[in-house]
Chain A
Amino acid sequence: MTDDPVIRLRGATKRFRGASGVHTAVHDLTMDVRPGEFVAVVGPTGCGKSTTLSLVSGLEPASAGEVLVRGEPVRGIPAGVGYMFQQDAIQPWRSVLDNVAAGPRWRGTPKAQARELARGWVERVGLGGFEGYYPHQLSGGMRKRVALAQTLVNEPEILLMDEPFSALDVQTRGLMQDELLRLWAGSGAAVIFVTHDLEEAIALADRVVVMTAAPATVKASFDVPLARPRDVEEVRLTAEFLDIYREVWDSLREEVARSREQAVKAEGGRRVA
């Protein structure tokens, strides 16, 4: 395994034209992800985590700086990228099975074969029996699982996940986390996993990256030297886990507080104006 990073952000900056002038969502962000590495990203709400993922996926071009995937500058969507969006993005007019089969179909797999693949993934995310349901007949958590299957069926080498499990109940979330780790271990994919749940971040990742309050840039990066394979439920209870948790939380807490201050200030500014 070469250790050349598959994902490399060099001083990446993203600005948006907003209602009140130019808004910088991501500022001078530098980070690398090695092949097969699982990186969790945490940071205060609205700081620019989703924007960072959209830069890597090629959906948004960077305003400044470099975004490289496998050493190539990102122009358009790089091959082998899977991206599970924060918002619902499954097709309401397709059944669960056809939603999951959509990726392979678009990539040219024959229909019968695509459906066979999809059936396996629908089982794996625990939706067996719901193949013929339309999205409006599913719960929010079930729709998330459809999105997960839809992304994983393409067997991405680079997996971008934006708060994939935040809509799930605690038990299902635990199951899905274990399932994700199992699937990932066999795939060798590089993962960037955005979450608000610090426990989830530490339990899953090789490394936790803490982002600053808006505009986002990397504040600190913490290695998680917990042994694999991990059982998500059990690893939380170890002393090592708690040590890491305390360390990362100390770093994250300041940013969350800063983000709150910013929000209060912005609110005050609006009141005055």
Chain B
Amino acid sequence: MSHDAPDAGAAMAAAAQMTALRTPSDLDNAAAIAAAGTASRRRRAVVWTVRVAAIVAWLVSWEVSATYWIDPFYYSKPSAIWHRLVDWFTKGTAQGSIWTQIAATLEEAVIGFVLGAILGVVLGILLGRSRFLSDVCAPFIKAANAVPRIVLASLFVIWFGLGMSSKIATALVLVFFAVFFNAFQGAREVDRNLINNARILGASRTQVLTSIVVPSATSWILASLHAAFGFALIGAVVGEYTGADRGLGLLIATAQGSFDAAGIYAGMIITTVIALLAEWLLGGLENRLLRWRPPVAGAEAQI
């Protein structure tokens, strides 16, 4: 065992150095942090294993039953959907490159999302802070909110044509209401003490608005933005479905027209992936903006 000796010696030296540099409580802390890290990594591994197993079980049972018992013409099957996706990405779709379709839908959704969110935030905060305006507008907003908004897509096609603007308008309307109500509520529920304190400390009306009302409403607004991007995508896809010359909605509509169940699923999957990516981006933004908030479950700050 002679080759172990230098290693052991080095380890001893390192340990000696550590005890020299660190107090016992530092060592305890380091050990506690390491242990907590290991435990949470193990937990995550288990969660992911179970998730993957569930997906595999689902896909396999679908594939097997579509092969032997149910009619894949109506229900399709995972391998067919996979082939369709590969086809789209390698050879393109009947309407042209798949990337053109994705870009079109994404552009409509993003423009609709940004415009709708800005409009929703501005009007929400304005009405939330003005008793008079909100009293005047309340019935109109309620009525507008009660209109089945998907139907508006058809109207917008007539108004704005088959181009992008009709899809942007549909996305905008869906996003606007989702954001508006949250911004309104957020602006309304600002702590009176905070406002009074700011006024005493010397804040003007605009300063109260920008440095008290807006930050307080931010957590409400950000919460709504998560759902709102999903709505923007729905708006764009439904708009395209109603009538368009490109986009994911058009792919899905075409697939439906030719009884191509795999095509519908493939379109759905692409849309879902886009929505999840957007959700992830917005989550990052939210974490950055709401750094001041206590961690929800206390998982970050305590061990």
Q: Which residues of A contact B (CB under 8 A)?
A: 57, 59, 77, 81-83, 85, 87-95, 102-103, 106-107, 134-137, 147, 150-151, 154
A77 close to B215 (CB less than 8 A): no
Q: Find chain A residues with CB under 8 A from B211 CB.
A: 91, 102, 106
- In whole angstroms, what is the CA distance A154 to B200 when docked? 10
- In whole angstroms, what is the CA distance A103 to B197 when docked? 10
> B199 an interface residue at 8 Å Cβ cutoff?
yes
User: Which of B197, B202, B215, B301 interacts with A89 by CB under 8 Å?
Assistant: B197
What's the nearest-Cβ distance from chain B to residue A131, in Å? 14
A85 close to B196 (CB less than 8 A): yes
Give A91's nearest chain B residue, CB to CB: B194
A106 close to B198 (CB less than 8 A): yes
A106 close to B204 (CB less than 8 A): yes
Q: Which residues of B contact A (CB under 8 A)?
A: 191, 193-194, 196-204, 207, 211-212, 215-216, 218, 290-294, 301
Q: How many A-B residue pairs have CB under 8 A?
A: 65
Q: Find chain A residues with CB under 8 A from B291 CB.
A: 134
A150 close to B201 (CB less than 8 A): yes
Give me the 10 closest cross-chain CB pairs, A-B, nearest first: A89-B197, A103-B201, A136-B294, A89-B193, A93-B292, A107-B202, A106-B203, A106-B202, A134-B292, A83-B200
Chain B CB within 10 Å — which of A83, A88, A92, A93 has the most? A93
A88 close to B199 (CB less than 8 A): no
A87 close to B193 (CB less than 8 A): yes
What's the nearest-Cβ distance from chain B to residue A191, in Å? 15
What's the nearest-Cβ distance from chain A to residue B214, in Å? 10
A106 close to B207 (CB less than 8 A): yes
Q: List 18 A-B contacts (CB under 8 A).
A: A59-B200, A83-B197, A85-B197, A91-B194, A91-B198, A92-B293, A93-B215, A93-B218, A95-B292, A102-B201, A102-B211, A106-B201, A106-B203, A107-B202, A134-B291, A135-B292, A137-B294, A154-B201
B292 close to A77 (CB less than 8 A): no
What's the nearest-Cβ distance from chain B to residue A103, in Å? 4
- In whole angstroms, what is the CA distance A77 to B200 when docked? 7
- In whole angstroms, what is the CA distance A107 to B200 when docked? 11
Q: Find chain A residues with CB under 8 A from B212 CB.
A: 91
What's the nearest-Cβ distance from chain B to residue A140, in Å? 14
What's the nearest-Cβ distance from chain A to residue B55, in Å? 38
What's the nearest-Cβ distance from chain A to residue B283, in Å? 18
B292 close to A92 (CB less than 8 A): yes
What's the nearest-Cβ distance from chain B to residue A113, in Å? 15
Chain B CB within 10 Å — which of A59, A150, A154 has the most? A59
